[in-house]
Structure 1
Amino acid sequence: MPLSSPLKPNDPTIAGRPVAATIAVVVREGSVLLVKRANMPDEGKWGFPGGKIEAGEGINEAAVRELFEETRVVAKPHRVFTAVDAFDHDEQGRLRNHYILIAVLCEWETGTPVAGDDALEARWFPLDGLEHADVALSMDVASVARSGADLALQELGA
């Protein structure tokens, strides 16, 4: 007997397959680089620079490309260290998009953050107190930033 799923593939109230995207986690001198999103999902919230992985593009390559497009910061990718789900729902609660955000630890090389592409702002945020910052953060930003900072300290001495 075949297993059945509660989700029906042709149901118009659910999104298609999840979309793979990457986020660049850049930690430098006790701060993490974030951008204020200009578009959905999470328009107006602060999150990591990132975006969809293009066909034929590697995860690390996509992370540094998106980082540069959104901030003009150049960084060296080191490795994937976690992944999180990002769900975009409409006003009625229906799922529009499901993104799988693949976090890549990146080492800052050069550049001062300047908002570009689909970012409204770009700046460094102190890691200490990020969880209590008086700004709207996208889901999981503080915990991913903390994990990235711990890893950066171990592997990069940052």
Structure 2
Amino acid sequence: MIKPLFQRVVVGYNGSRSSLHTVLYAILMAKVYKCAVKVVSVVDIASIKYLTLQKFMVSQEGESIAKSLESDSEKNLDYVTDLAKSKGVKIETEIRKGAVWSEIITAADEFKADLILLGGAKNLDHLSSLSRDVISSQDSEIIGSAHCSVMVVREPYVEQKFKLV
């Protein structure tokens, strides 16, 4: 018998609509395909350190922002855990600190993931060019450096499908 293409899936979640859609997709995958899912939220300490070193903020401000981001991550992961429970699916969650792309890859390696899911925001026009560049850069780094397959989720009706299952 052939081994399934994926048994362990990692999803990065940052609270955005696109990443929420990706988490919903992963929960549906877990329900349908019986795969294990781990949702990872990364507190981007690397960017905070960079901004502090460049004198865009003082270190106390950076520490305050990091604590706030960690608190947001905890709430976000509690929310997705509840979503998974609502579908009878158990997921793992983890908060990591560092560069987003690096931590997602490390989490996938440690989880022995077969697949990393990324959110595929179709329209980034509402974001500043800097934000678009950061998102592109992080996704490119994950795609180029991952040791497993990477899939971009662009399911327009995932919320409706989630409600039906």
User: Higher strand share goes to which structure?
Assistant: 1
> TM over 0.5, yes or no?
no
Higher helix share: 2
How would you bin the TM-score normalised by the shorter chain? under 0.3
